[in-house]
Structure 1
Amino acid sequence: MLPAPAKLNLFLHVTGRRADGYHTLQTLFQFLDYGDWLGFRCRDDGQIRLHTPIAGVAHDDNLIVRAARLLQQQSGTALGADLWLDKRLPMGGGIGGGSSDAATTLLGLDHLWGCELGLERLAALGLQLGADVPVFVRGRAAFAEGVGEQLTPVTLDEPWYLVAVPAVSISTAEIFSAPELTRHTPVIKVCGLPEGGGHNDCQPVVEARYPEVRNVLNLLNKFVQSRMTGTGACVFGSFPNASDADKVSRQLPVTLKYFIAHGCNLSPLHQRLERCKAEAGV
């Protein structure tokens, strides 16, 4: 089993819109030691089979299956795979569940099939699947630009996070197509990163359209400075230790889902793969 960790956008600035409709961004990614898990088994017949489907998502449309088939095509392998997903991250939560699953599939099958394409080629394949996939493939906390694919690795503090999960799934396409979205936040340089500062340009749009998110932000802000990640719906606050995060979590309504996780500058997926290589003497 390999982890497919969550990510947080510690800030998200929308700096413009390209002629093709895609938005230019500046954001700060950090991983969490919490996420989905994926299991892999090699097949000799070239078939790709995901044995744990997601409700409402057709087998062939699932990013995991698409990632596996894309790697097959690009590597030229005749091998296939059986795949299993232990889904823990909410869909439409802004914490990268689908993108992370795709990245773990690319890295896991690259290892299982012996493709050895390397991170550069795998990240390029990942970009065909989604703008957030490359950061999960590369596995380092990063300052991201462009549509999110231009990555500069950074070293950040690694606090503990309380991540609240409002009972709503939010479409990224809906938020980025909203006419009221701010699209002209001034560009900053990586040397001027506002760690702990910055803002999320998508948050006002989501708060206005989704009272579930607005209410959770208002609630969590009573205890800790809180922010939405990505295009929502998850909301997070940072703490110096797990105990402080736990104390706040016990004051939340029992109906509000949440999890507590440690921030990671090196993805748990890459930590696991490095241990596997060390154990194999590679």
Structure 2
Amino acid sequence: MPATIPALTLPAPAKLNRMLHIVGRRQDGYHELQTLFQLIDLCDYLTFMPRNDSAITLSNDLSGVAHNDNLIVRAAQLLQQASGTHQGVSVTIEKNLPMGGGLGGGSSNAATTLVGLNHLWKLGLSNATLAKLGLTLGADVPVFVHGHSAWAEGVGEKLTSVTLDTPWFVVIHPGVSVSTPAIFQDPELTRDSLPITMARALQGGAPEWRNDCEAIVKRRYPPIAEALNWLTQHAPSRLTGTGACLFAAFDSQLAAQAVAQMAGQHWYSWVARGLNTSPLQDALGR
């Protein structure tokens, strides 16, 4: 590929699980879920620089993640193999999303890589094809590929696009790392929540909008329990995914900023706007 083709910089947005119910466990060990994914405008940014060879390189590896284990590299290699292209790319990442925070950062990075390189390499693959590829990398990848807030079932891959309210969120990371496998393997984890309809879930509020992982995470990680109890004093709050991040919704940016400023005295905190359409889709004009 000619070196004159300009670099492409694209966002990889975070997600929140507005609710997360565990309704069963499959024979393969994976859990059956019902969740509402909402995208937010807190993003990593990936820059893709075309190469004249077929190499896949990541210029700034993430701490504790081997180069070939990074989902960005794996996604690019997967797309190469699936499409048969011999094009290569050098990738640089501006990492803003905390690793292991339950915000889907790694999955979003993989999705942005698939969507971005499909565009850059002019492969012409559909989002459905990219999402199917992405599912082999992680259950959360398809929602980021499709780029819309969604009701999800199965392991999180059966998606129906929905339109959610778009409040301002305070997102807090208590500074600990949560082991997702450990949470899902905990014998006390609720695995038998009664399934609900999407329509009922979209009505919102308790008891539908809860996170079945929350009690286990709070018991295992006291700093998360402390932060969640603090945030709950300011607004109804819950965990996203298996954590460690937690969030609360506010009607105004000013209200969210005031709480985030107080939270920032103790923890990492952000103010983010809820979205229904991914900024990745917007950046590519899709």
TM-score of Structure 1 vs Structure 2, range by shorter chain? over 0.9
Deviation string, structure 1 residues 138-162 (Cα, Å, up to 9, x no partner): 0010000000000011111111100
Q: Number of matched residues?
A: 275
Does the alignment pair 1:76 with 2:84?
yes
Deviation at 1:251, TM superposition (A): 2.4
CA contact (8 A) 2:100 2:243 kept: yes
Question: Structure 1 stretch 62-71 or stretch 165-174: which is displaced more?
Answer: 165-174
Amino acid at match of 2:74: R
| 8 A Cα contact 1:10 1:196, kept in partner | no
Partner of 1:280: none
**Aligned residues of 2:108 and 2:144 also touching (Cα < 8 A):** yes
Distance 1:67 1:178 in 2: 30
Q: Cα deviations across residues 65-109 of structure 1 (Å, max 9, x unaligned)? A: 000000000011010000001111111100000000000000000
Secondary structure of the 2:106 match is helix
The reply on whether 1:185 has 2:196 as its aligned counterpart is no
Which residue is 1:66 aligned to? 74
The 2-side partners of 1:20 and 1:259 are apart by: 37
| Aligned residue identity for 2:166 | E
Deviations 1:229-275 (A, max 9, x none): 0000001000111111011123225231100010000011111111x
Tell me the secondary structure at the aligned position of residue 136 of structure 2.
helix
Answering whether residue 222 of structure 2 is matched by residue 211 of structure 1, we say yes
Report what 2:279 is aligned to: 268
Q: How do residues 45-124 of structure 1 correspond to structure 2 at under 5 angstroms?
A: 45-124=53-132
Q: Is the 8 A contact 1:31 1:263 kept in 2?
A: yes
After TM superposition, list the pairs within 5 Å mapping 1:24-63 onto structure 2. 24-63=32-71
- Flag the 1:44–1:207 CA change in 2: closer, same or farther, 3 A: same
* Unpaired segments ≥5 residues, structure 1: 278-282
Kept in 2: contact 1:44–1:78 (CA 8 A): no
Distance 1:171 1:66 in 2: 21
Residues in 1 aligned to 2:125 and 2:164: alpha-carbon distance in whole angstroms:
29
1:112-170: per-residue Cα shift (whole Å, max 9, x none)?
00011110000000000000000000001000000000001111111110001111011
User: Post-superposition, which runs of at least 4 consecutive aligned residues in structure 1 deviate over 6 A?
Assistant: none
Give the distance between the partners of 1:45 and 1:180, measured in 2 at CA. Answer: 51
Once the two structures are overlaid, the 10-residue window that deviates more, 8-17 or 246-255, is 246-255
Q: Distance in 2 between matches of 1:120 and 1:267?
A: 16
Scaled by the length of structure 1, what TM-score is found?
0.96
Q: Residues 42 and 226 of structure 1: is their aligned pair in 2 closer, same or farther, counting only changes over 3 Å?
A: same
- When residues 32 and 253 of structure 1 are mapped into structure 2, their CA distance, relative to the original with a 3 A threshold, is closer
Q: What do you get for the CA RMSD once the two structures are aligned?
A: 1.0
Identity score, percent: 54
Contact 1:16/1:24 (8 A) holds in 2? yes
**For the residues of structure 2 that align with 1:185 and 1:268, how far apart are their CA atoms?**
33
Mapping of 1:147-186 within 5 angstroms?
Answer: 147-186=155-194
Partner Cα separation in structure 2 for residue 221 and residue 272 of structure 1? 35
> CA deviation digits over 1:47-74, x for unaligned, max 9?
0000010011110110000000000000
Distance in 1 separating the partners of 2:143 and 2:20: 15
CA distance in 2, matches of 1:2, 1:11: 28
Per the alignment, residue 6 of structure 2 pairs with none
TM-score between the two structures when normalised by the length of structure 2: 0.94
d(CA) in 2 for partners of 1:223, 1:124 = 40
- Deviation at 1:196? 3.6
Question: In the TM superposition, what is the alpha-carbon distance from 1:191 to its structure 2 partner?
Answer: 1.6
Which residue is 1:222 aligned to? 233
Alpha-carbon contact 1:140-1:267 (below 8 Å) kept: yes
Match of 1:128 among 109, 120, 136: 136
Distance in 1 between the 2:113 and 2:261 partners?
A: 35
1:181-222 C-alpha deviation (Å, 9 max, x unpaired): 000000011121142442100000000000010000011011
2:153 aligned with 1:142: no
